[in-house]
Each structure stands twice: as C-alpha cells, then as structure tokens.
Structure 1
Amino acid sequence: MAETEEQIKARKERERDELYALDISDAEWQSAPGTEEHEERVEIAYLPGGAVAMRSSLDHDTVLRYTEAEWRAFVLGARDGEFDLESAPGKGGAAAE
C-alpha cells in the first residue's frame, strides 16, 4: 500500500529529527583535495545510515544534514549540471554578472 502525502511528510519529519539528534562531535570531516587549510571550502562527513553532514570550513557551527536519499539526489543533480551557474541565467552568481 502506497504512503499518503501526509504519511510521507510525517516520515520525512521523523527522519530529519533523528538525523539532527545524532551526536556528530566525533565526525571525520573531509574536503576536496588540493585546498589549503586557510581557504574556505565545503567539508562533508559521512554519518550512519548513508546520511551526510555538510559545513563550511570557516563556520563549524552551521551544519546541514542530509538523508541518504537527499544526498544521492543532490549528487546526481550536480553530476547532471542542475547547479551549473552558466545554465541558470538571471538566478544570481557568475551567470548574472
């Protein structure tokens, strides 16, 4: 039996609450190779259940967390060019300059 829209919303809210309740104080943060310690860069940490946490190297207090499904959708979208600034005229960034 398929989930109703209300059930899906409730499940996603539970997943988000559980994800943000995780203690990630011992997480191993990784960033792209070739970046200097003093440079701002995106850092990610792999969490239990395939989830991922993401933060800026200059702001360790603001951490975004994604379920495995959310992270997979983001990575696949990035690979497909969904976030390329050149393909999004008028939406800010380099393409709007």
Structure 2
Amino acid sequence: MTVPEGRWFKSSFSANTDNCVEFRRVEGGVEVRNSKRPNDAIIRYTDSEWKAFILGVKNGEFDI
C-alpha cells in the first residue's frame, strides 16, 4: 500500500475506536499523533527512522 501525503491513517486493528495512534506521510518523513488527542503534540520521524521502526515491528522486537 502506498500512503498518500497529508492524510491521517490508523491501524485497521483499532476497529471503530479513537483509542489508537495515527500517522501520516509528510515530505521527508512521517508524523505520529494520539487519536484521542489530535490537537496535542505531533511527533515527526524521518523516512529512515520510520523504516527502522517498521522493520523492528515486523521482526517482533516490540512484542508485548
């Protein structure tokens, strides 16, 4: 899936709840926010930081 810039997305596993982290593509990276508090702080990651995080998730490094 190619994610377009500017639109907020959340995991399909969050169903119809606002209890989730959302992300959006921006030029040169990704922004992340708490969907329960969309007007609070947004955290920005570079493309390389985001790719490293996603690879760690896929590798099971963050399993609870």
TM range (shorter): 0.7 to 0.9
Q: CA deviation at 1:84?
A: 0.7
TM-score for the superposition, normalised by structure 2: 0.78
Identity %: 37
Give the structure with the larger strand fraction: 2
Matched residue, 1:81: 60
Q: Give me the CA root mean square deviation.
A: 1.4
TM-score for the superposition, normalised by structure 1: 0.54
Give the structure with the larger helix fraction: 1
Structure number with bigger Rg: 1
Does the alignment pair 1:57 with 2:35?
Answer: yes
Q: How many residues are aligned here?
A: 57
Q: Residue 61 of structure 2: SS of its match in structure 1?
A: coil
**Relative contact order (alpha carbons < 8 A, sep ≥ 6): 1 or 2 greater?**
2
**Structure 2 unaligned spans of 5+:** 1-5
Deviation digits for residues 9-42 of structure 1 (CA, Å, limit 9, x no counterpart): xxxxxxxxxxxxxxxxxx3111122521x43111
Moved over 2 A (4+): none
